[in-house]
Structure 1
């Protein structure tokens, strides 16, 4: 089943990344893509948080599945994984979570996972499940393109976009290899290191976006360290098609675990401000 079609259990049309980026571009904006971990702080509250993100202007969603050794993530996301895991979240429940999200939105959904989750479930079963619940794309953060042939082939079999990371150390030759395997969008890492909110966007990030834009027509989204509206504006002005923000939003969850209503209100306000920055 192709996720660009309607899911089996509802009538909501699921937009492809291509459709989403075109809509955003036609409005003269960049795409805002928030990241949260499914099941943080618990299944039902996490669903409400995602719904608030959608209502507050998210153009697409990045959803993480909890994993014991998230090597690309800093303490903020690590703690979110722990909170989700402690409430019983698994890969199977993660797909149930996406199925529930598809009851109220058709914007693109990407999964940010680690390859062991795919391998353990079985490559074919993982991508089949992803397609059936309406996932648009999958990024396995620790899967290099040199070892991704089976995953890419299976993703395409089920109509799921394989998404890859490019970094400041990525050579032009390797960038071409990544671009040839990638669809949906290219995830550009803005920092050398793990996920986490930073105080500023490095000049090298702007230069990286410009360099990658000259080598590929695939939409470019910048993540890792993007935490403030001014960061979003800066990467969009540099030529990125979208900005991905995770740790800054997850911090809101972590800081308000005693008041779930405040989590939703504050995350909604943050999302609205970050989306507004794509219009400047």
Structure 2
């Protein structure tokens, strides 16, 4: 876990409260930002606030409670989660879990999120391609379309 290896941050999807200070210390000691995940299933508003305030770089907001993967749309309640997070922290909010295309990215940006995360869609673009080169081209096209959608 060293920034010298090229890492900029550490994404932590599930962290017991009592382990947060030690992880914050370790990340800081290695020059890494600590990015924490907030989900619709995060137990209490106090937990969401604590995670949002402790997150560095951005707060990762999962759009659904459950496994990641592509979905047809984004639930409107995500807009409420984004609004609450902005009330509790100045850290940018990025939404993931189920984001698979520019239409969803555009909607999420309109709701106020600063970014989107679409790992499953990028993995699919690579995995369903006939060659590594084609897969990388499709990934780049998808990434460009998402960036344009939120610009």
Query: TM-score scaled by structure 2?
Result: 0.91
Contact 1:179 1:186 in 2 (8 A): yes
The aligned counterpart of 1:200 is: 73
The equivalent residue for 2:47 is 174
CA distance 1:144–1:233, shift in 2 (3 Å): farther
SS at match of 2:145: helix
Based on CA coordinates, which of the two structures has the bigger radius of gyration?
Answer: 1
Q: Which residue matches 2:85?
A: 212
Q: 1:169 to 1:142 in 2, by over 3 A?
A: closer
- Secondary structure, aligned partner of 2:11: strand
Q: Counterpart of 1:241?
A: 114
Q: Which residue of 2 aligns with 1:164?
A: 36
> Which of the residues 125, 129, 138 maps onto 1:266?
138
Tell me, in whole angstroms, the C-alpha distance in 1 between the residues paired with 2:107 and 2:23.
33
Structure 1 stretches of 5 or more lacking a match?
1-125
In structure 2, C-alpha distance between the alignment counterparts of 1:220 and 1:274, rounded to whole Å: 16
Residue 16 of structure 2 is matched in structure 1 by 144
TM-score (norm 1): 0.51
1:230 aligns to what? Answer: 103
Q: Which secondary structure does the structure 1 equivalent of 2:142 belong to? A: helix
Q: Aligned-residue CA RMSD in angstroms?
A: 1.5
Which deviations, in whole Å up to 9, do the C-alpha atoms of 1:63-101 show, x marking residues without a partner?
xxxxxxxxxxxxxxxxxxxxxxxxxxxxxxxxxxxxxxx
**Partner SS state of residue 214, structure 1:** helix
8 Å Cα contact 1:145-1:181 kept in structure 2: no
